[in-house]
Structure 1
Amino acid sequence: MSAEQSHYHRATILVVDDTPDNLMLMTDLLKDRYRIKAANSGEKALRVLQGDSLPDLILLDVMMPGLSGHEVASLLKHDPRTCDIPIIFLTALAAIEDEIHGLELGAVDYITKPISPPLVLARVDTQIKIKAAADFLRDQNDYLEQEVERRTREVMAIQDVTIQAMASLAETRDNETGNHIRRTQHYVKVLAEQLRDHPRFRHFLNDETIRLLFKSAPLHDIGKIGIPDHILLKPGRFTEEEFEIMKTHTTLGRDAIQHAEDQLGIRVDFLCLAKEIAYSHQEKWDGSGYPQGLAADDIPISARLMAVADVYDALISRRVYKQGMPHEEAVEIIRQGRGSHFDPDVCDAFLANVGQFQAIAERFADSDQDMARQLAALERIAQDP
């Protein structure tokens, strides 16, 4: 069998005509090249088209009792399942107006009776080839869309794994737990969603930005990996010199993320937010924070959100050297910091969602194993010369 013959035998044509002689004529004419299905009414044609296997082309008589060919064509073109099947009208209506009407209904061609067999074969062959090409392109587009979606999922997964790996690396050096990372991540999302329609924030907070904030928030303390153990793990208050060293974790974090972005050679949106958060989440609304002493709206929005999330979690979290502060007391401290430590509107967003913050804290509470790990870290630093 030649490639052309193989092509023909793969194609199926539905012939619809209420006259038995016409059905027989068209079947005899086309059967050597195509698989043929026949229907002697519009209603029967619709039943045939409800099956699992759709034809590649429909030859449709116009004047039939019951549903006319025009009515059948209109129904098929309004059905997403059948709208792409090409229709050729076969009819005795030869007026130009009839042909125009048929084409307006979505037909690809219009053949008048009595038919010319060579003309019918040529026009059917043309439409079958066009349909095959359209199906190929549609399949290719579907494949490409699926491939883009798959690649996008892979990229997203790689981003998530990278963030978790970097955050976990910092966690191994800190006396805080991975639950702190998860809690602050969810706190930031709650604040962002509360403020997304606020006049001061709606230009920045949308679905994509909130997703990126959630993704990048775990890197807020990545710079602590560069702080010496005897300072990072110290349970008591820092000396002035120690605190100056501790404050450098903001710059170390930003620079580490910038280095990762430089290695990629492209700008990455979630890393841009991660740099903002790592570098500026210790800034205060009144300008008394660090590392730059930024104030008010000069502080990136991402960092203002993290400031509230980070302080609240630090207050309520238990450590081997302290008990966690009761939720109500932590809320009051945040309230008192409104307009000094914290952006007033971000603080208000927190106060409007204190129940969600408490629920997140309980959901990701530190376990006894977390406390044991903290104690081991403190014992390690105590044994260092």
Structure 2
Amino acid sequence: MDILIVDDDDISLDLLRYALEAHNFRVWSAANGAEALRVLESQNINLVVTDWEMPIVNGLEFCREVRRRQSDHYIYVILLTSHGARDEIVEGMAAGADDFIVKPFNPPELLARIQAGRRVLALETRDLVIFALARLAESRDTDTGQHLERVRLYARRLAEELAASSAFPEEIDAEFIRLVFQTSPLHDIGKVGIPDSVLLKPGKLTEEEFEVMKRHTIIGAETLDAALCQFPHARFLQVARDIAIGHHEKWNGFGYPYALMGQQIPLAARIVAIADVYDALTTRRVYKDAIPHDEAEAMIIAEAGEHFDPLIVAAFQRCSHEFVRISQRYANSHQPAVCTV
């Protein structure tokens, strides 16, 4: 496991390095928070031990910047500090620190807290399982390329934009944004239950075939409901279920499977609906050509208040230029998909 240690004192860095390398950790180092942020940009590191008092960017400022940035993986931060008062601990945790070690540190305590951080980070294995299940469902349709990567990045960007505008202050927080990113790949998991004759048909579906296709929303929700029965307090399962059942509902009530209207449709599903439709419009499929971004944007804007939530369409308009960047970076190819977990 790679660990980044951050301290402006060379002796402290040497002591930390010695304690960690003795237990086979690979150690990176930085002299201040600004330097540490540059290391995180170039290396896949998800555990940091940082001093509080440093020049340029101190430990608190470093924590705030780490939490402000939307990384594809969680970064666990242990704050190494001489500040041990309760109000200072509260200040550090509010800035985004996960744990504290008071100087001078005790090596066994440092290792124990590192192991606690590793247990927390192990929960990200859940993300890998979610994405693997989604890819399994998608593997039956070889024409979708990097659809999952793009949709979840579009959905996260929309959720971030909505958070910045305070459009849904009681619903959207950092956890909600992360859960939408994590679980949106499961939006079409119910397609595992759709016959190949319908799912892989190159032409337009008949009315009867379309009724069969629409059942993928219910199949997906039922699959996730079974998991929710076992883990009823798992919020990520609830968000995934909301997306699976609701991403084909329409704001005006003419969607499926239940013809929900307006805010009856779960917010996560309303967000993923725009991400999913944009991707469908702007990528080539066996039965259609891709259309340019400007045309897709105009079509989505025209559907505000009809197909889509007007507030989410407005957020899409504000950040649609970033959809172009995502689309170009994750364009379909015959190469293996880029892992963004």
Deviation at 1:260, TM superposition (A): 3.1
**Stretches of structure 1 lacking an aligned partner (at least 5 in a row):** 1-48, 54-77, 85-133, 371-385
> Which residue number in structure 1 is paired with residue 119 of structure 2?
151
Name the structure 1 match of 2:331.
365
CA contact 2:145–2:333 (8 Å) conserved in 1: no
CA distance in 1, matches of 2:223, 2:248: 17
Among 149, 166, 176, the residue aligned to 1:209? 176
Residues 1:178 and 1:159: Cα distance change in structure 2 (over 3 Å): farther
- Which letter does structure 2 place at the counterpart of 1:155? L
Aligned partner of 1:274 in structure 2 is 240
String of CA shifts for 1:38-88, please: whole Å, max 9, x gaps.
xxxxxxxxxxx99x99xxxxxxxxxxxxxxxxxxxxxxxx9x98899xxxx
Classify 1:347/1:227 alpha carbon distance in 2 versus 1 (closer, same or farther; 3 Å).
Answer: same
Aligned to 1:319, what secondary structure does the other structure show?
Answer: coil
What are the within-5 Å matches in structure 2 for residues 36-51 of structure 1? Answer: none
What TM-score, normalized by structure 2, do the two folds share?
0.66
Give the aligned residue type for 2:237. L
Letter in 2 for 1:223: G
* Residue type at the aligned position of 2:217: T
Q: Structure 1 pair 329/147, CA: closer, same or farther in 2 (3 Å)?
A: same
**2:146 partner SS:** helix
> Which of residues 328, 345, 357 is equivalent to 2:294?
328
Q: What SS class does the counterpart of residue 248 from structure 1 fall into?
A: helix
Are the aligned partners of 2:253 and 2:260 in contact in 1 as well (CA < 8 Å)?
yes
From 292, 300, 314, give the equivalent of 1:348.
Answer: 314
What are the within-5 Å matches in structure 2 for residues 305-320 of structure 1? 305-320=271-286
Q: Is the 8 A contact 2:191 2:216 kept in 1?
A: yes
Q: Are 1:189 and 2:156 matched, yes or no?
A: yes
> So what's the TM-score if we normalise by structure 1?
0.58
Offset, 1:208: 1.5
Task: Give me the whole-angstrom Cα distance separating, in 1, the residues matched to 2:278 and 2:133.
Answer: 23
Change (3 A) 1:303 1:82: closer
For residues 195 and 288 of structure 1, what CA distance do their matches in structure 2 show?
24
Query: 2-side partners of 1:243 and 1:256: how far apart?
Result: 21
Distance 1:247 1:369 in 2: 31
Pairwise CA distance, 1:141: 5.2
The alignment-based identity, stated in percent, is 43
Q: Which has the higher contact order (CA 8 A, sep 6+)?
A: 2
Would you say how many aligned residue pairs link Structure 1 and Structure 2?
Answer: 245
CA RMSD, 1 decimal: 2.9
Residue from 196, 200, 209 that aligns with 1:229:
196
Task: Say whether the 8 Å CA contact 2:143–2:286 is kept in structure 1.
Answer: no
